[in-house]
Amino acid sequence: MRPYNGRMFKKILVANRGEIALRVIEACREMGIRTVAVFSETDRNSLHVRLADEAYCIGPAPARQSYLNIAALMSTAEIAHAEAIHPGYGFLAEDPHFVEVCEESKVVFVGPRHETMIQSGKKLECKKAVSAAGVPIVPGSGALKTEEELLSEARKLGFPLIFKASAGGGGRGMRVVQNEPELLEKFHAVKREAEAAFGDPTVFLEKYIPVARHVEVQILADMHGHVVHWGERECSIQRRYQKLIEESSAPALTKEMREAIWAAAVKAAEVLGYQNAGTVEFLVDESNFYMIEINARIQVEHPVSEMRVGKNLIQEQIRVAAGEKLGYAQKDIKLKGHAIECRLNAEDPSKNFAPSTGRIEIKSLPGGNGVRFDSHIFSGMDVTPFYDSLLAKLVVHAEDRPMAIAKMGNALKRFQIEGIKTTAPLCYEILQHPNFISGNFNTRFLEKNLPGA
């Protein structure tokens, strides 16, 4: 990431689609920045296309021929005279090669530097760097090349274990191993999966912590050495490592552990020389916490942090990318109230979360005080099988957690669309469950409490 001559951008290309593209466009409009949308042929009538100042088709529906086409994106940036590119999340948001191409083309990438992205994307390198600085990590192996190394490391660590892809993310390239007979089969399977998904077959082992919470910390860093956090988020309500509900603050954390996790996240960002927005992820058991990775991009669930801090994280990203200082210290950030986000996906939970496609007809949408609906849907929109199933992020903010849960329940009831199935009813069921209400849950919530989901 390079500063833009100490002045704000005039035009930014948004290298994404859906609700995150809309968020960036709206954030730019509030800052007086013109926007350039890109779209595939199937997205020609999408909201982000209609609301941007300019829009260009970059290819057919398959993502590899459009939203993942670096040459098409860079050509569009040149034609439109865009000074910066915001990648959103997904697609090329964590592709260090794309960042390097932007830097070589003198187009500012709104995100971390490509060197930092390479280091944070390679989990083994990242773990080594932060561990040396005193940040606790899950005990694990190095890169596993042979079956002999695998057996030696597994016996040393003890079962249960989990395989992880060094270049992995989004839950891919991960397999739990309960005993030695499973080792070899899953070792080769996860290597194949890692190679197919990330182009890198490097895998490693970690001690598997079966009863843990997934807690992450939002950090923000400028180019002048200032790093702050925006509090933590609880992300334990998930299915197959895919998050469904997030909230802030995280219930059941002691004050001491909460502050220690914040400090560890800031330390990790400092060690990596991090710039822009990022998320440091942790596993938390009854008495310990362990950093597992850093996501070098804006997260889907960033609105829960925004609601508590009262700032626009997309706009903060843009300011930092333009070379501005943060302009505030940690003591100036006040975390207020409680926020919850539900991901409303075009999936059918009753059919093992099978993708649901069709034409949307909107009957009712949520609203009201403290309710935020981030979405790109409209009546008559066709949900296609080409992209991520996320339709909307429903976010509420209230004085405390019980009030936030009640408010989210009301908001989910008001979300009524026809034509496709969504995860909204499942989210409502989760929010009414006594173990969710009590805060007594971990990453195995669904399999323990709603095994049919």
Residue with tokens 């960033």: 302
Contact (CB, 8 A) for 291 and 137 = yes
| Closest alpha carbon to 169 in 100, 93, 234 | 93
Question: Cα dist. 20→35, 64, 270, 419 in Å?
Answer: 13, 19, 27, 23
Cα–Cα distance between 401 and 140 in angstroms, integer? 36
Amino acid at 198: F
Cα–Cα distance between 71 and 87 in angstroms, integer? 15
The string of DSSP codes covering 75-88 is HHHHHHT-SEEE--
- Residue 148 buriedness (CB in 10 A; 0-12 / 13-18 / 19+): exposed
Catalytic residue among 233, 297, 343, 372: 297
Amino acid at 381: M
Backbone φ, ψ for residue 388 (5° rounding): -55, 150
Cα–Cα distance between 318 and 8 in angstroms, integer? 8
Q: For the chain, first and last CA: distance in Å? A: 42
311 token code pair: 């700032």
The length of the chain in residues reads 453
Q: Is the alpha carbon torsion for 356, 360, 364, 369 positive or negative?
A: positive
The DSSP bridge partners found for residue 355 are: 347
Backbone φ, ψ for residue 292 (5° rounding): -115, -30
- CB-based contacts of 310: which residues, under 8 Å, 6+ apart? 334, 336
- Residue 332 buriedness (CB in 10 A; 0-12 / 13-18 / 19+): exposed
**Residue 240 annotated to the active site:** no
Residue with tokens 């439109």: 80
Torsion angle of the four alpha carbons 338, 394, 315, 383, in this order, in degrees rounded to the nearest 10: 160
Please state at what angle helix 96-104 crosses helix 70-80, rounded to 10 degrees: 30
H or E element at residue 445: helix 445-449
Backbone φ, ψ for residue 168 (5° rounding): -80, 175
Q: Which residues are catalytic?
A: 297
